[in-house]
Amino acid sequence: MHPSKKTLVLGASPNPRRYAYIATEMLWDYGHEVVLFGIKKGNISDQTILNEWPTDMDIDTIILYVNTTIQENYYDRIIQMKPNRIIFNPGTENPEFQKKVKDLGIKVQNACTLVLLRTNQY
């Protein structure tokens, strides 16, 4: 197993049918620390979904479960967080933002978090 990577889930949802919810549980199963951020109030298991952007956190990976229009609201906050990488899950691909963060040295992946975890590539 790879070392734990503190991960911010952008688009976290209390709905167990949503991929962000499933990915959160799988991240925990694989031993990763998770920070949840979303617009909907609620929890995943006993962890609260933050509705205010977290600051002063050392985040390795940000995984996106929001569309490109919503992503625009978070460009500056994501960049200020200086993650090592951003995973654009299916449906969240964003060439404009990807180029911007790549130019800043942030690794970009167009990939499914669930597949990355299951194939030991996370």
The per-residue pLDDT for range 84-98, each reduced to its tens digit, is 999 999 999 999 999
What is the distance between the alpha carbons of residues 46 and 68, in angstroms, rounded to a whole number?
29
CB burial of residue 63 (10 Å; 0-12, 13-18, 19+) = buried
User: In the chain, what are the domains?
Assistant: 7-118 (3.40.50.720)
Nearest C-alpha neighbor of 116 from the set 54, 61, 55, 59: 61
User: pTM score > 0.75 for this model?
Assistant: yes
Q: Give mean pLDDT, residues 65-93.
A: 97
Q: Which of 38, 60, 58, 57 is nearest to 49 (CA)?
A: 38
Model confidence at 15: pLDDT above 90? yes
Mean pLDDT (whole number) for 64-68:
97
